[in-house]
């Protein structure tokens, strides 16, 4: 398809129009990020009067100075790291052995164990029974509630189980001859062979944990335990709920808008740093493996 001489004049026109349209969509995707960054570096008065379009107006670091001295910001940032790292490790500790066991032909009642997992994709009890259950387990307002309560999902287990099933049994036979047990076979044969699939699941977990806010918002009351997204939501709510009230927050140097934008920027930076690593897995097709089974 890359042979350019095969294109007629009409094709060249079509290709150019298409390039322009894709370019416009790309710019439209990029623009909100640039706009938010510009607002975060503008003065409160400038942001409030709506003159910021592309670049900072009356450039200042005041909004950043305002949030970087708030202990809640740092505490919630630290909590997000705890939930992301702790939650991802917990997920892998449960999902990898579980997926391995479900992939083994000698597992008795394998069909039924798999059904128990898959059924949760089709039916779930919903928000209220889940919340009541967390409360009854004593997991409200607890780090462990967030870390364990959301550790597993059926999709990740099935994705990994399918990957394990696709590994030819010849790989494990040599290890079995040497008298390796199941733990050793999982650790020394299956995990090394499944790096791309495990990386994909790790990616899903990290992204979900970093971005999760709803359950953190309703399970955690203690302000010392909330993650960054909940802290961010609180400042956004102040901005939108009560437009008159937030006007009192304007000083000449920063306003609710610029502070809000600055927190958004601080929260996106780690995602941007992580992004090149994420990209490596986009086109390997593994992300799609789960879609089709």
Residues 227-256 that bind other proteins (CB under 8 A): 229, 232-233, 236, 239-241, 243, 255
**Candidate residues 65, 124, 221, 251; the one interacting with other proteins per rule CB under 8 A:** 124
Q: Is 28 in the site for other proteins (CB under 8 A)?
A: yes
- How many angstroms separate the CA atoms of 6 and 180, rounded? 59
Compute the least distance from the CB of residue 64 to other proteins, in Å.
16
Nearer to other proteins (CB atom), residue 25 or residue 245? 25
- How many angstroms separate the CA atoms of 280 and 291, rounded? 19
Give 185's contacts (C-beta < 8 A, 6+ positions apart): 172, 175, 176
Give 104's contacts (C-beta < 8 A, 6+ positions apart): 110, 182
Q: Is 127 in the site for other proteins (CB under 8 A)?
A: yes
Give the tokens for residue 113.
């164990």
Q: Which stretch binds other proteins (CB under 8 A): 61-69, 121-129, 164-172, 194-202?
A: 121-129
The answer to whether 290 touches 197, Cβ cutoff 8 Å, is: no
Q: Is 60 in the site for other proteins (CB under 8 A)?
A: no
Q: What is the DSSP string of 130-181?
A: HHHHHHHTT-TT-HHHHHHHTS--HHHHHHHHHHHHTS-THHHHHHHHTT--
The helix (H) or strand (E) run that includes residue 189 is none
Residues 31-50 that bind other proteins (CB under 8 A): 32-33, 35-36, 39, 47-50
Residues 154-213 that bind other proteins (CB under 8 A): 157-158, 181-183, 186, 207, 210-213
Q: Is 1 in the site for other proteins (CB under 8 A)?
A: yes
Q: Which stretch binds other proteins (CB under 8 A): 61-69, 71-79, 126-134, 171-179?
A: 126-134
Compute the least distance from the CB of residue 257 to other proteins, in Å.
5
Residues 82-111 that bind other proteins (CB under 8 A): 93-95, 97-102, 104, 106-108
Q: How many H helices and E strands in the chain?
A: 17, 0
Q: Is 285 in the site for other proteins (CB under 8 A)?
A: yes
């Amino acid at each position: 398809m890359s042979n350019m001489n095969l294109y007629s004049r009409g094709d060249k026109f079509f290709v150019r129009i298409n390039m322009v349209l894709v370019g416009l969509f790309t710019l439209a995707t990029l623009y909100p990020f640039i706009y938010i960054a510009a607002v975060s570096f503008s003065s409160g008065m400038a942001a409030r009067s709506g003159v910021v379009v592309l670049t900072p107006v009356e450039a200042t670091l005041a909004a950043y100075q305002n949030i970087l001295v708030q202990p809640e910001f740092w505490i919630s940032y630290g909590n997000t790291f705890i939930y992301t790292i702790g939650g991802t490790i917990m997920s892998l500790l449960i999902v990898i052995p579980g997926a391995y066991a479900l992939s083994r032909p000698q597992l008795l009642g394998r069909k039924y164990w798999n059904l128990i997992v898959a059924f949760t994709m089709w039916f779930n009890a919903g928000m209220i029974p889940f919340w009541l259950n967390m409360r009854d387990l004593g997991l409200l307002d607890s780090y462990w509630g967030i870390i364990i309560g959301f550790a597993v999902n059926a999709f990740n287990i099935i994705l990994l189980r399918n990957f394990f099933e696709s590994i030819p049994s010849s790989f494990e036979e040599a290890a079995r001859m040497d008298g390796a047990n199941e733990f050793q076979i999982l650790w020394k044969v299956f995990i090394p062979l499944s790096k791309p699939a495990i990386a994909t699941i790790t990616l899903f977990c990290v992204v979900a944990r970093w971005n999760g806010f709803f359950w953190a918002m309703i399970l955690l009351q203690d302000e010392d335990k909330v993650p960054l997204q909940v802290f961010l939501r609180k400042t956004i709510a102040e901005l939108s709920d009560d437009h008159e009230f937030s006007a009192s927050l304007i000083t000449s140097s920063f306003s609710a808008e610029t502070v809000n934008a600055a927190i958004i920027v601080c929260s996106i930076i780690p995602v941007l740093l992580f992004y090149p690593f994420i990209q490596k897995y986009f086109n390997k097709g593994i992300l799609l493996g789960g879609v089709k089974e």
